[in-house]
Amino acid sequence: MQKYWTVFRVNWQNALQYRGPTLISILGNLMHISVLLYLWNAIYKDEQRLGNYSLSDLITYYVLQLLINGMVLSYISWQIGTEIREGSFSNFLVRPINYLHYWFTINLSGKLFEGLLISVVGLIMVGLLIDHIALPSDAVTMVHFALAMMLAGILAFEFDFAIGILAFWLVQIDSFKYMLQYGMFFLAGALLPLDLFPALFQQIAHALPFRFMVYFPIQIFLGKETQPYEGFAIASIWIIALYVVLRFGLKRGIARYEAVGK
Amino acid sequence: MDKEPQPLQLRKQLKQGQDMAAIEVTHLNKTFKTHKKEAGLKGSFKGFFHRETLYKKAVKSVSFSLEEGELVGFLGPNGAGKTTLLKMLSGILYPTSGKAQVLGFTPWERNPGYQRQFSIVMGQKNQLWWDLPPSESFLLNRDIYGVNHKTFRHTLDEMIELLDLKELLDIPVRQLSLGQRMKCELVASLLHQPRVLFLDEPTIGLDVISQEKIRSFIKTYNQEKKTTVLLTSHYMQDVEQLCKRVLVINHGGIVYDGSLSSLSNRYIDHKVIKIRFAETQSATAPPNIKGIVEWDKHHAVLKIQKKEVAQVTHKLLGDFRIEDLSVEKVEVEEVIRRIFEESPKAELNTQGEDKPHKWIKKPGETP
Amino acid sequence: MQNTLWRYFALYRSFFSHNLKNEMIYRANFAINIGLDVFFTMVNVIFFAILYGNIETVGGWTFHQTLIIVGSVGIIRELAYLTFRKGFLELGEYVRTGRFDVMLTAPMNTAAHLAFRHVSLTESLGEGLMGLVLVGYGFAHLDAATWISIPFYCLMLINSLVIYYGFCLMVSSLVFWLIKSQELNTMIYYFMNTARYPRDIYHGLGKTFFTFLIPSSLIATTPAAILTGRIDATLIALSVSVAFVFLTLGLFTWTKSLNHYSSASS
């Protein structure tokens, strides 16, 4: 356990080194969200309505999306792909550290760090938009939300890790990875709430596990998902199943990596 | 090549150039900034909000001048400031203070008129297009430097001949060996026939044969074209074979400027005498012989003050039956090592702390 | 002046052919890039399709009109790759490794050198072509389409390209302090992404912000406005002025920032 704690700390130090870039990436994100807020505002001003969302629901949806993007969604597959492709992955083969757990730690530490920063930004936004934020009224909802966020974080990591280790089999995955990631986020409800989709799309998105990464926690927060226990159960099953698959996949990948010899 | 008519502008500058030095550097300084990184997570947190700036004087009040056509070597350990100086003279780095004139231009103004007349080759960086054959990079440089097609063809042919490159021209750069790549880098840098050439570690990482080739090329080129060359190298042989004059730089300042031969005269006050005795001696040296480094029954090595060499040799020849005696001068490499060892430690740190920090807290005055 | 212009045109041609030869070596990338571009454009179209499935107009723009805005962004992106964009993407790596040195010693304008060094036809070709398709599709479905607006549309596209360039220069100047350009490029990417929404959604502070500080609201809306028959002299004058100011400021910042370059060894 000690070694993972060290990895965690070192990664924080690393993140703190780059304060300029960190700020800029938050600003960029903030910009995108602000534009979307203006978009919803313009739509509601024309007395139009999106599904069963009120304006405050939508604003809350995107402020939470900002938070989730910082705290939950994982972007480590890029580095994993590079490590495998360029051969620095070999360093892990000779070390007594589990690659999956190692990256889980890195991701966790990174997301907590970014989450902390994004929370500050989020709080300022909530302060500015307080009249338009739909805050949950009871503590149970908050507990449900926190639990959903945790599951979302683990699930997002697992999917991202899976994309990363595709590099064992595919030489050039960068473009492919973008596609998978973006498609995944779209089906997670990061761009638009899933219940605004046409019926067929909704059914597809509902059957897939990606909705647990963005849409599901936000629905809980907005009080549109009062009985989330079924969702928790399904998400947990996915997490366990993916964990087994990833362990197996990593094993196969390493075997392949050694066979190719880099 | 000399038959090619020079453009009018260039001819004018050449004429002006006759009565002034090709390179004139006065009190040039360059200080780099960095941020202090405290150890540990706590330090990182502090650094996120506030960080201390540290300064390093890479070049300290350097002055020197070079005549047109000279081939001068820059000597100094890693991080002494050689490359920083070359980069300032190329206009890559902006100096903290001081003046420099190369061919009458201030380099960091990056005047195209200057850029067309010099070149810098760095052994560790490459400007060739990685996936294309070198000939493509040459063509591009021809266009960037505005070399006319006839002159280009002529210069290129000449250099292909000199460096024996014919077979390499159409092979992608990534498939070339390090030595072959260096040759191509040189060609790419010389296509516009620069009047001043800066070479930063041109032979680094090369095998002995490639080193030798590059060296002889530089020598021939300098002699034939009268190009002013300023060269830095790790390899003593580069400097010994190419440069009559050397500038020794340490901790950002020039500590010696002069000929290579007088360098050893100035810094080394002794010579080494090696003896092989004709008959077996006692294992211990007689007490009246000084400067003994080694002594056994058959051999001896003595380190003797220069002015006493004649007297000691005479005495030795009188006292012993000697089969072979040689007086050896000290290797240049040894001389250089001495200079660097002798330079005062205080120069590392103007704050006068006793830890040899490279980075200091305040830019301060130059000594 | 004319000579310089001619020289840079010739240089562009030279660099373009070199880059094309380079891209031909990696033909597989070309196919992947096209596929990627088609995918992303389609996701954007789906986003608006879903949105417009629930509502009629956004800031007064119908679905087909919005497609013209989205398509224009694609066209401008491709035009940018044909001129300057990829150089900025690579800039961080150039500065970090010290390979930027070459750009400072060659007798050629540094900004032009960086831009030309990586002009790319294929990098964003898919997006450009998809953009053309979207603009064409949107245009065909307009009630009041006039052919005469097309040349003016093209002129405003070029004006938007200038705004984009000025913005890139300003943001990328920070590389010489940060040494990392990934986040700066993310910023520029967001800038172009926010250009996909009609300018009319903004009001008050937001409008000022996205006009003068981050002028993304002008990028695609101005040309699209012309094509959709909303010719508005004020908007055009505003776009042209912003382009002028951003280019001037961008070149100034860039030139000043070069002195801050600390060339890395090895």
Q: How confident is the model at residue C74 (pLDDT cuts 50, 70, 90)?
A: very high
Q: How confident is the model at residue B308 (pLDDT cuts 50, 70, 90)?
A: confident
Please report whether residue C40 resides in a domain: yes
Contacts of B321 (CB under 8 A, 6+ apart): B277, B278, B279
**pLDDT computed for residue C211 by the predictor:** 96
Q: Among A87-91, A250-254, B228-232, C236-240, name the one with the lowest average pLDDT.
A: A87-91
CA distance A151 to A223: 18
Q: Which of C7, C25, C105 is closest, CB to CB, to B115?
A: C105
Residue A61 has pLDDT above 60, yes or no: yes
SS (HEC) of B106-157: CHHHCCHHHHCCEEEEECCCCCCCCCCCHHHHHHHHHHHCCCCHHHHHHHHH
Phi-psi region of A253 (alpha: psi -120 to 50; beta: other; left: phi over 0): alpha
**B98 and B109 housed in the same domain:** yes
* C-beta atoms of A183 and C43 within 8 A: yes
**pLDDT computed for residue A252 by the predictor:** 93
CA distance B60 to B28: 7
For C171-210, how does the pLDDT look when each residue is reduced to its tens digit (9 = 90+)? 999 999 887 788 888 889 889 989 999 999 999 999 999 9
**B233 and B314 housed in the same domain:** no
For C41-61, how does the pLDDT look when each residue is reduced to its tens digit (9 = 90+)? 999 999 999 999 989 999 999
Residue B51 has pLDDT above 80, yes or no: no
What residues of chain B, 9 to 38, have a C-beta less than 8 Å from chain A? 37
Q: Residue B289: give the domain boundaries.
A: 269-328
The sign of the torsion formed by the CA atoms of A37, A39, A40, A41 equals positive
Residue B213 has pLDDT above 60, yes or no: yes
Please report whether residue B38 resides in a domain: yes
**pLDDT computed for residue A96 by the predictor:** 82
Strand ordering across the sheet containing B270-277? B292-295, B299-305, B270-277, B322-328
Residue A206 has pLDDT above 70, yes or no: yes
Please report whether residue B229 resides in a domain: yes
Instruction: Enter the tokens of residue C69.
Output: 């805005």
**B321 and B234 housed in the same domain:** no
Q: How confident is the model at residue B80 (pLDDT cuts 50, 70, 90)?
A: confident
Please report whether residue C240 resides in a domain: yes
**pLDDT computed for residue C182 by the predictor:** 81
**B249 and B294 housed in the same domain:** no
Please report whether residue B207 resides in a domain: no
* C-beta atoms of A18 and C56 within 8 A: no
* C-beta atoms of A196 and C206 within 8 A: no
Q: Residue C216: give the domain boundaries.
A: 2-258
Question: Pick the residue with more confidence: A39 or A9?
Answer: A39
Report the domain count for chain C.
1
Locus of tokens 């064409």: C136
CA distance A176 to chain B (A): 24
Residue of B241, B253, B197 whose CA lies nearest to B27: B253
For B338-359, how does the pLDDT look when each residue is reduced to its tens digit (9 = 90+)? 777 765 443 433 333 333 335 5
Percent of chain B with pLDDT strictly greater than 70:
85
Report the domain count for chain B.
2
* C-beta atoms of C260 and B94 within 8 A: yes
**pLDDT computed for residue B26 by the predictor:** 95
ipTM above 0.95, yes or no: no
What is the SS3 assignment for B232? strand
**pLDDT computed for residue B343 by the predictor:** 56
CA distance C11 to chain A (A): 31
Please report whether residue C243 resides in a domain: yes
Is C177 part of the contact surface with chain A (CB cutoff 8 Å)? yes
**B350 and B282 housed in the same domain:** no
Total beta-carbon pairs less than 8 A apart between chain B and chain C: 72
Interface probe, candidates B96, B119, B122, B173, chain C, greatest C C-beta count within 10 A: B122
User: Which sequence spans correspond to the domains of chain A?
Assistant: 2-260
**pLDDT computed for residue A261 by the predictor:** 60
Alpha helices in chain A (DSSP H): 2-17, 19-45, 55-71, 77-86, 90-93, 99-128, 139-165, 174-188, 199-207, 215-221, 229-260
Q: How confident is the model at residue B365 (pLDDT cuts 50, 70, 90)?
A: very low
CA distance B357 to chain A (A): 22
Q: Among A169-178, B28-37, B158-167, C42-51, name the one with the lowest average pLDDT.
A: A169-178
For C154-171, how does the pLDDT look when each residue is reduced to its tens digit (9 = 90+)? 999 999 999 999 999 999
What is the SS3 assignment for C63? helix
Contacts of B351 (CB under 8 A, 6+ apart): B357, B360, B361, B362, B364
Instruction: Identify which of A12-16, A26-30, C74-78 has the greatest average pLDDT.
Output: C74-78
Please report whether residue C263 resides in a domain: no
CA distance A69 to C260: 34
Instruction: Enter the tokens of residue B342.
Output: 């002798």
Please report whether residue B13 resides in a domain: no
pTM check: above 0.90: no
Residue of C108, C106, C114 whose CA lies nearest to C85: C114
Q: Which of B37, B41, B47 is closest, CB to CB, to A9?
A: B41
> Mean pLDDT across chain A, nearest whole number?
87
- pLDDT (mean) for A25-39: 83
* C-beta atoms of A175 and C35 within 8 A: yes
**B248 and B337 housed in the same domain:** yes
**pLDDT computed for residue A18 by the predictor:** 66
Is C26 part of the contact surface with chain A (CB cutoff 8 Å)? no
